[in-house]
Chain A
Amino acid sequence: MLIVKNLKVSFGQIDAIKDVSFEVPEGKIVTLIGANGAGKTTTLRAVSGLDKSSGGSVIFKGKNITNMEAHQLVAMGISHVPEGRKIFPTLTVRENLDIAGWTIKDKTIVKHRIEEVFELLPRIKERINQLGGTLSGGEQQMLAVGRAIVTGGDILLLDEPSMGLAPVLVDEIFDKIVAINKRGTTILLVEQNASEALHIADYAYVLEVGYTTISGPAKEIAADPRVREAYLGV
């Protein structure tokens, strides 16, 4: 569904990612793991169009989408839950969800999807009239995922969904990710919490200082001694 080839992104003189290649097959969960500064976030931002690449290509559903504008890619089916959640703090939870349906002409679809969000993430429903900024970190993460469900992309890019959450919430959020995948959404997951990510993923790629180095089925990666030493702490 998504093929990234030799992607390169530079900010001025600095190359944030130098040569990143990976594939995300339809219906699967693929994870990119790596240390801080490896280029995981930049990779996602380049795929969703927030950052412009200076080399390589991104192919989505057979179309070359390299350097297209982010808002066009949303309409084409790419949903991105960015690092730090980026909830609109002075919009209510409902407004946050409504606005995620911006590109959808038929508002009954938006309504229907918001109902699905309530079903999957019941906590969001309790907070419906609160301002986004007043939610706790975990609730904000759920809301960010909820927005992505309303956006309704064919692929969901998740950037560090477990960041800053209590362990019990981390488990919950990973359960939700699996549930969303089961509903038919392809998932590209970026995580520092490598053990959880490898546990739910089908395939994994390791990013090191701007390069994809090791790749394979998640189970094999989890057993790879280099990965175990560097990222799993065993």
Chain B
Amino acid sequence: MAELFSLQQIVNGLQLGSIYALIALGYTMVYGIVRLINFAHGDFYMIGAYAAYAAFFLFNAYIAPGNVLVFIVLIVAMLVGAAVAMLSNKFAYKPLRYKPKLSSLVTAIGVSMFIEYFFSAFPPIGPSPRGFPEVLPKVMWTMGSAQVSNYVVIDLVVAAALMTGLTLLVQKSPLGRAMRAVSQDKDAAKLMGINVEGIISFTFLIGGAFAGAAGLLAGLTYPRIMPYMGILPGLKAFIAAVLGGIGNIPGAMLGAYIMGIAETTANAYNSLLGEGIAFVILILVLLVRPTGILGEKTADKI
């Protein structure tokens, strides 16, 4: 039992939590702004992983594995994730914007299945898992009782940088103010001269870029990618967003780290328990505090 709450599990939990946080933010932002649970969001993450994979082989010929290559691959994964998210918004969700919510929800499931099966059927990708390449040589350090690799550092730093940037954007910039305004009242936002559809599209862009980044981090950390890899992390990140309070940005981050640590700790005890803990958390949240930890009626729903 001693190793259950070891430093190592905390490190692993923070690492997993970082990946969940980046996915959960996309869920929560899109929900905040258009009240849609975008079930295809986990697939944006999968596409990010494949984009990173492709970018590695494209650029590896010119640049040796290392931090520079990681950075380039990260940018590609984020761009591709953002593009796919914006396209799904444009073609699948926008036409249904002022229709009953259920239409968009069912469409989101359709988009998700389309992406997964299309990738499986598309010969250059195919259904079988692929090993993710070593984008940079792994270095291990010992910190107290825990082993920490440079991959852990990359996961934490990338997630922290993106989350800080997002928080500043939403809280301090005029664009963020417009996002909050649109999330509160679309008609009033239009009357301020805000192009509401443009802001929605931008929100999808950020969410998709973050999912793409998470895809690269996941490929680095758990080096096996396949077209269905987005389903479970997507669900878990969604639960993390619900745990923190859906629509609330700090809530999604908090929920994701709680989830990451809970999962690695449960995993250390029994790997089947680790897979199921997320759903236990979901049931508990819905029973005890359905608004989530930070979710309140008055909170900014973005």
Chain A hits for B299, CB < 8 A: 90
Chain A hits for B174, CB < 8 A: 98-99, 102
Chain B interfacial residues counted at CB < 8 A:
19
B184 touches A102 (CB 8 A): no
Check: B97 CB closer than 8 A to any chain A CB: no
Check: A23 CB closer than 8 A to any chain B CB: no
Check: A18 CB closer than 8 A to any chain B CB: no
Question: Among A86, A89, A133, which residue has its beta carbon within 8 angstroms of that of B191?
Answer: A86
Asked if A133 meets B298 with Cβ closer than 8 Å, knowing A71-B195, A71-B196, A91-B177, the reply is yes
Check: B102 CB closer than 8 A to any chain A CB: no
B180 touches A88 (CB 8 A): yes
Task: List residues 247-302 of chain B with CB under 8 A from any CB of chain A.
Answer: 298-300
Chain A interfacial residues counted at CB < 8 A:
26
B181 touches A91 (CB 8 A): yes
Check: B194 CB closer than 8 A to any chain A CB: yes
Complex: how many Å from CA A133 to CA B187?
17
Chain A hits for B188, CB < 8 A: 82, 86-88
A90 touches B190 (CB 8 A): no
A75 touches B177 (CB 8 A): no
Chain B hits for A49, CB < 8 A: 190
B192 touches A90 (CB 8 A): no
Task: List residues 180-217 of chain B with CB under 8 A from any CB of chain A.
Answer: 180-181, 184-185, 187-188, 190-196
B184 touches A70 (CB 8 A): no
| Best-surrounded residue of B177, B178, B191, B192 (most CB of chain A within 10 A) | B191
| Best-surrounded residue of B185, B188, B298, B299 (most CB of chain A within 10 A) | B188
A88 touches B195 (CB 8 A): no
Chain A hits for B195, CB < 8 A: 69, 71
B194 touches A90 (CB 8 A): no
Chain A hits for B194, CB < 8 A: 71, 99, 102
Check: A2 CB closer than 8 A to any chain B CB: no
A103 touches B193 (CB 8 A): yes
Task: List residues 30-78 of chain B with CB under 8 A from any CB of chain A.
Answer: none
Check: A117 CB closer than 8 A to any chain B CB: no
Nearest chain-B residue to A148 (Cβ)? B191
Question: Among A50, A69, A133, A147, which residue has its beta carbon within 8 angstroms of that of B192?
Answer: A147
Asked if A99 meets B181 with Cβ closer than 8 Å, knowing A75-B193, A89-B298, the reply is yes
B193 touches A74 (CB 8 A): yes
Check: A154 CB closer than 8 A to any chain B CB: no
For A75-88 the 0/1 string (1 means CB < 8 A from B) is: 10001101000111
User: What are 15 A-B pairs at a CB distance below 8 A?
Assistant: A49-B190, A50-B191, A71-B194, A86-B185, A86-B187, A87-B188, A88-B188, A90-B180, A91-B180, A91-B184, A100-B192, A102-B178, A103-B192, A133-B298, A147-B192
Q: A71-B193, A90-B300 are in contact. List 16 more A-B contacts (CB 8 A).
A: A50-B187, A69-B190, A69-B195, A70-B191, A71-B192, A71-B194, A79-B191, A82-B188, A88-B181, A89-B298, A90-B184, A91-B177, A91-B181, A100-B192, A102-B193, A151-B192
Going nearest first, the 9 A-B pairs with the smallest beta carbon separation are A74-B193, A103-B193, A86-B188, A70-B190, A102-B193, A71-B195, A88-B184, A80-B191, A71-B193
